[in-house]
Structure formats: C-alpha cells, structure tokens
C-alpha cells in the first residue's frame, strides 16, 4: 500500500466534506427541542438518532472506521460498533452544544481555558498569533472563548452549499464574531492572512485537513502511518515571524468544555524551501494531535480516510 505522501496529496481531490448528514427538518427538530427542553431534551433524541444511523447506515460505520481502526487496532466487530456509536454520539453532542450556545447563550456552557496567561504573553509579542486547531471537540467553543484577547479573530474556513449546520452565532441572527477568509479565494487567501498577522490579529487555521488539491503538504506519522498534513500555517509563521499556538477543545462534562493551549511552535525565518523544511514543525503539531486522541479518543472528528492515497481509491 502506498503511503499518503505530499506528492500523492498533490494529485488528490478533497476527500472530506462538511456536508450535513441530517436534513433541514431534522436540524429544526433539534433546535425546537433545545428551545423547549434545553440541552437534555436534545440529547435524549440524539441517543436514538445516533443509534439509528450507526445501525442502519453502513456509510456512517465506514467513515468512522478509518480512524477507529488506527486508534483501536485490536477491536472486534461489536467493539468497533460500540466505538462508532460513541464517536458519532460525541460528534452529535458537539453539534447540539454548538446550537445550545447559539440559542440559549454562552452562559449555558462552561468553557475553561488552560493556558490563558501564556496566550496573553504570546499576544504581547505583537506579531499576531497563528492559532492552529483541529476537528476535535468543539472548535467553535474555542472561537467563542477568545474574546479576552480583545483583538479580531480571523478564520480560514470553507463552507459548502450542502452544509446546513448553523454556526452558533447564526441562531440569534448575530454577525459572525470572526472574519472568514476563504481558502478558495485569490492565492488561497494568503495575502489576507499575512495582513491580519501584520496587524497583530489572530488567524485560526485547521491543521488537520487539506483544502482541495493543495500540494502544500508534508507527511508525518499519525497513529502508525503516514498522513499528509498542510504546512501553509508554518510557512506563514516563517515568513511573518508570528508564533503558532495549538489550541484544542474537548468536552469534559455535560455542559462544559476545556480549551487547552496544547502546544507552542516557533518556526525560524527561512528554514529552507520546500515541504521538507517544515516537516519538523508539522510533526510537532501531529504529535500534539496524537496525544489528544489518546486522551479523548472519541472526540476526533475526521470521518474520511486520512491515510489513503489517490492510488488507493483507484
């Protein structure tokens, strides 16, 4: 089997999708339940909905299996099914919680930030902050908890037409609390990204997914095999001098999240040209991510085969 090297990733069309699994009506039912009965009422329905999808939709089991096979290699069929249920349930809870924050307000969720003081110290360097996060926990919780920095937050984010999940601020018709930079824009939005960092603002990027057929990837060992990860954030850091902060969120209780400053990565200016120069810094992030999957195995939300290559897919 060929590994997922940057060269292969260059040929790859995007393999993940942000398209919602449920219909518009199903989402509305959850929103009504939250309004009428709060988070618990929505969770009750969620347990049944997730059970339905896990038992009756093979695609749900297949999509979660890519990661679960790597994370729990020794599992039997029943164990795998249970893992799939737990992982799907955690994703469902994260989506419900996001809606709860939007509908009932931020006070409905406790968010603890571990590393707050360090984040303020890094901000005081006045070189902007590149906040690298991942599709774990509830990343929107991370966004909503950055107000104390008192600086604009910019998010590199692509949204598909089929994505009907509402972001938390959309429930109350509020303006987006962060500025969205479209990676499909001119030159992948890099000029905008450089500009916000120059102004000392926060730029948030997802470090675990490749947008489109981005050839700017470098491979790193993740859960026992090579995966291509994007290195654009690290190149931006090298060029602008901005520090990289890895901030990951995790659900810690029924109505609580913990955001953790899980890593701090410094990329020297001009480390060299080409992907290999950035491999050590990408690896630092990947090690933090792998550590996260050890601590929170069911809160890793990448439902596609990170480890596959275009050749694997035929």
* By CB under 8 A, residue 90 contacts other proteins: no
CB of 211 to other proteins, least distance (A): 10
Of 65 and 183, CB closest to other proteins:
183
Q: Which of 279, 299, 165, 178 is nearest to 230 (CA)?
A: 279
Q: What phi-psi label fits residue 24: left (phi over 0), alpha (psi between -120 and 50 degrees) or beta?
A: alpha
* By CB under 8 A, residue 273 contacts other proteins: yes
* By CB under 8 A, residue 236 contacts other proteins: yes
CB of 275 to other proteins, least distance (A): 10
Of 150 and 184, CB closest to other proteins:
184
* By CB under 8 A, residue 114 contacts other proteins: no
- Bridge partners (DSSP) of residue 222 are 225
CB of 137 to other proteins, least distance (A): 28
Of 89 and 129, CB closest to other proteins:
129
* By CB under 8 A, residue 12 contacts other proteins: no
Q: Among 51, 120, 191, 225, which residue sits at the site for other proteins (rule: CB under 8 A)?
A: 191
* By CB under 8 A, residue 64 contacts other proteins: no
Of 49 and 236, CB closest to other proteins:
236
Query: Taking a C-beta distance cutoff of 8 angstroms, is the pair 295, 114 a contact?
Result: no
Of 83 and 192, CB closest to other proteins:
192
Query: Taking a C-beta distance cutoff of 8 angstroms, is the pair 132, 244 a contact?
Result: yes
* By CB under 8 A, residue 239 contacts other proteins: yes
Query: Taking a C-beta distance cutoff of 8 angstroms, is the pair 263, 245 a contact?
Result: yes
Q: Among 15, 80, 86, 215, which residue sits at the site for other proteins (rule: CB under 8 A)?
A: 215
Alpha-carbon distance of 222 to 306, in angstroms, equals 9
* By CB under 8 A, residue 24 contacts other proteins: no
CB of 236 to other proteins, least distance (A): 6
In 193-293, DSSP assigns E strands to 202-206, 217-222, 225-230, 244-253, 256-265
Of 145 and 265, CB closest to other proteins:
265
What is the token pair recorded at 200?
A: 């000392």
Query: Taking a C-beta distance cutoff of 8 angstroms, is the pair 210, 9 a contact?
Result: yes
Of 92 and 188, CB closest to other proteins:
188
Q: Which helix (H) or strand (E) holds 153?
A: strand 153-156
Supply the DSSP string of 75-124, one letter for each residue. --HHHHHHHHHHHHHHHHHHHHHHHHHHHH-GGGSEEEEETHHHHHHHHT
Query: Taking a C-beta distance cutoff of 8 angstroms, is the pair 214, 153 a contact?
Result: no
Show Cβ contacts of residue 303 under 8 Å, excluding neighbours closer than 6 positions: 16, 63, 64, 66, 67
Q: Among 232, 296, 299, 308, which residue sits at the site for other proteins (rule: CB under 8 A)?
A: 232
Q: Among 41, 45, 81, 190, which residue sits at the site for other proteins (rule: CB under 8 A)?
A: 190
Q: Among 97, 192, 208, 226, which residue sits at the site for other proteins (rule: CB under 8 A)?
A: 192
What is the token pair recorded at 136?
A: 């774990």
* By CB under 8 A, residue 7 contacts other proteins: no
Of 146 and 196, CB closest to other proteins:
196
Write the CA distances from 194 to 101, 133, 134, 244, 279, integer angstroms: 31, 18, 21, 14, 21
Of 141 and 275, CB closest to other proteins:
275
Contacting residues toward other proteins, per CB under 8 A? 185-188, 190-192, 194-195, 215-216, 232, 235-236, 239-240, 273
């Amino acid at each position: 089997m060929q590994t997922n090297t940057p060269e292969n990733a260059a040929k790859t069309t995007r393999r993940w999708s942000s398209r919602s699994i449920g219909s518009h009506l199903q989402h509305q039912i959850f929103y009504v339940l939250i309004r009428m009965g709060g988070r618990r009422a929505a969770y009750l329905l969620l347990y049944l909905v997730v059970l339905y999808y896990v038992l009756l939709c093979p695609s749900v089991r297949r999509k979660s299996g890519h990661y679960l096979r790597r994370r729990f290699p020794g599992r039997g069929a029943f164990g795998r099914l249970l893992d799939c249920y737990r992982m799907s349930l955690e994703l469902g809870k994260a989506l419900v919680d996001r809606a709860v924050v939007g509908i009932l307000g931020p006070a409905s969720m406790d968010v603890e930030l571990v590393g707050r003081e360090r984040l303020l110290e890094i901000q005081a360097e006045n070189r902007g902050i590149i906040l690298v996060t991942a599709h774990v926990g509830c990343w929107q919780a991370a966004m909503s908890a950055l107000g104390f920095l008192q600086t604009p937050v910019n998010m590199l984010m692509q949204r598909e037409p089929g994505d009907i999940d509402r972001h938390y601020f959309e429930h109350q018709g509020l303006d987006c609390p962060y500025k969205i930079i479209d990676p499909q824009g001119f030159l992948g939005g890099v000029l905008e990204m450089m500009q916000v960092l120059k102004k000392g603002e926060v730029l948030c990027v997802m470090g675990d997914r490749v947008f489109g057929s981005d050839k700017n990837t470098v491979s790193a060992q993740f859960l026992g095999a090579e995966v291509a990860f994007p290195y654009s954030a690290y190149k931006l850091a090298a060029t602008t001098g901005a520090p990289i902060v890895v901030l990951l969120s995790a659900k810690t209780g029924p109505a609580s999240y913990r955001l953790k400053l899980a890593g701090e990565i410094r990329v020297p200016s001009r480390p060299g040209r080409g992907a290999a120069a950035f491999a050590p810094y990408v690896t630092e992030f990947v090690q933090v991510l792998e550590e996260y999957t050890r601590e929170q195995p069911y809160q890793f939300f990448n439902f596609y085969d990170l480890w596959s290559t275009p050749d694997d897919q035929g």
